[in-house]
Each structure stands twice: as structure tokens, then as C-alpha cells.
Amino acid sequence: MAKGFIKNCWWWTRPVKITVIWLICAASFYSFFHMALRNSPRPTISEGSSISNAEKRSILYTKMEKDLDENGAVFLKQGETSQSLSLSDLFTLKDGTVTPVLRAANPPIRANVLHLSSEYSVPISTKVLIEIPSWALHFFPLAEAVKNILLPYFDKAIWFQNSSIYHFSMFHASHHISPVPATEAEVEAEASAVKASAESMCPLSIALDRVVLTSTGVLLGCWQVVSGTDPVTIRAKLKTALPRAPQKQLYDDTMLHTSFARLLGPPKKFSEEENKFSGLQIFHELVNRVNNQIRGLKAMVSELWYVEEYDLLALALNGKMKIRKFQMRCSKP
């Protein structure tokens, strides 16, 4: 009956039939398509989806930021550092005085690092003793940034990186975990190859993304690249220039970081308000203060250093070293 009714309707014409069939097909396709999308596995970063080096750095820094909460303040127990050394291997703390433990590196460590000029590093290091009002930064840029905030709390139980050699570790021709001996002639050949690579690199304009405190007690500045040769490219160029270098390097290819300080013990001085903090809260509070002071700092990096460290971690501990400085000239090969 219904069939006859439809057949006798004046509006049930051939164009209408075609339109109805088309709409039914379209609706069916749409429904099946979305079911397929819901049921298909979603791509992840590890499966090769496109992601920029800046995004990779941001993900890495967020992971580093969580390290303290996930692993606790290992440095309070004299735990292992990020380079497989214990704090007692690096420092002695006696009568309130911190002294670096300088051990001969045999063979010498050969590190390639980007140098942060004192034009930028001295204001940072001098800023983590007193907090400078934001309005004053225009006249006294980031003065005593790290020391001014941290020193009152840790007194002598802290080691500040020498601000004249603030650096970004890029690539090792030899390191203490995988030493690669070299003759004097081989060292000179490496230095020449690094110089040639440096001249093909463009100076970096960078911005301080955030400051983090790791579970091993290291206060790190984590930077993003605004322009210039990306650290991933720099490391690739150095890997080509230094074919004898250890396959396993110490840091992620995207990473661009500087060490500002290393905490060696618990904070000792608290205000009445700070006495209410528990567990790791005081550390988070101090890191927040440092971030509020220096986060967003911009700098230019234009020197690549080839460093022979005759003492273990000489760059970090003010040990004996030989530095060759090369300008990044952005020249074409």
C-alpha cells in the first residue's frame, strides 16, 4: 500500500529519487568514515609524526621539570649525578666550605661547547643574590640573578658555575664514559675540523624558556632558539667533523642548556611563611622566584669552543683546561 502511495504521489519524480538515493549514500559514507576514524590507532610522536625541534625541546624540558617530583631530591642523599658520578666525586663540604675535587682526566676530555658571553652570563649569575624589581632590570639587567635568590638559603652548600665560562654542551670528541685517546697531531686535526664547521654555522639568537631544578641538584637554564643554526644541526655537523667521537653522546640532540648552580645540601634559612612548606615545596618556590626574575632573557651566541679538559669536568669545576675559540660566521662551504 505504501509502495502504491509513493508511486502515485505527484512529487515522487526521477530527480527526487536520485536526490534521496544520493543523500542516503552520503550519510552512510559519513557514518562509516567516522567509525573508521574512531577505531583506527592514533599516531604518536614516536611513530614519526611531524614535530619541530622547538616542540621537541619543549617536551624534553617539561620532562626535566618533572624529574624532581618523580625522583625526589637525590642530591640530599649524595646521589649519582647526570654523568654517572657521585657528588662526593665532585665536591667536598667541610666546615661550611665547598671545594671541588679535581681529578686528572686520562685521556683529557675533548668537549665542543657554545659559549654564552659574559654580557649575558654575569647579569644572570649575579641575579640568583638579591631580587631586582622588574622596573630596575632596564637599568641593571638581571643583576646577580641566581646568587641573589639562592645564596641566602644555602649559604655554603651550593656551587655556582663560573659565569665567565657559561656554556652549552654540544658534542664530545672524547668523554670520561667512553674515552677516545688522541695524539697531539690528532687533537690539532680535530680542532681544525671544528673550526671549519663553526665557520659554516650561523650565530644563535636564543631565549630562556625556563629554569628547572633536577633531582641531582643541578639548576639548569633551558633555552629555545629564535634564529640561527639549530643545536640539532650543530651536533650533526660536529659528528661529521669528528668521526672518531663516541657514538653515545651525553645529551639529547635537541637540548640547549646551561648549568647555573648545583645544590649540595638542604636550605637552612626560612621565613615564617616558608616554614609552612613541606617536602619539595621550598625548592619549587625558589625555582619559581628564579624563573620570575630571568625567564624570557634573550641572548646571542656566536662562539664555538673546542675544549681540552685536563681535569674531570674542568668546565664545571674550574679545573685545568685549554680552550680554542672559533667564531660562527654563517659562511657557505
List, for residues 164-178, the tens digit of each pLDDT value. 899 999 999 999 999
What is the average pLDDT score of the chain? 82
Lowest-pLDDT range of 24-38, 54-68, 250-264: 24-38
Q: How far is CA 14 from the centre of its chain?
A: 68
Give the Å distances, CA to CA, from 10 to 2, 15, 21, 305, 320: 14, 12, 18, 88, 100
What pLDDT is stored for residue 28 in this prediction?
A: 57
CB neighbours of residue 285 within 10 Å: 14
Q: To the nearest whole percent, how much of the chain has pLDDT over 90?
A: 55
Q: Using CA atoms, how far apart are residues 240 and 196, in angstroms rounded to an integer? A: 11
Side-by-side strand order, sheet with 218-227: 158-160, 257-263, 218-227, 204-213, 298-301
Q: Give the model's pLDDT for residue 89.
A: 80
Q: What is the spatial distance between Cα 229 and Cα 208, in angstroms, rounded to a whole number? A: 17
At residue 223, does pLDDT exceed 50? yes
pLDDT grade for 193, boundaries at 50, 70 and 90: very high
Which positions ≥6 away from 146 have C-beta within 8 Å?
124, 125, 126, 127, 128, 160, 219, 260, 261, 290, 294
Cell digits of residue 39: 577505531
Handedness of CA 29, 35, 41, 45 (dihedral sign): positive
308 and 194 in contact (C-beta within 8 Å)?
no
Nearest Cα to 265, choosing from 278, 282, 290? 282
CA distance 260 to 208: 12
| 211 contacts 295 by C-beta, under 8 angstroms | yes
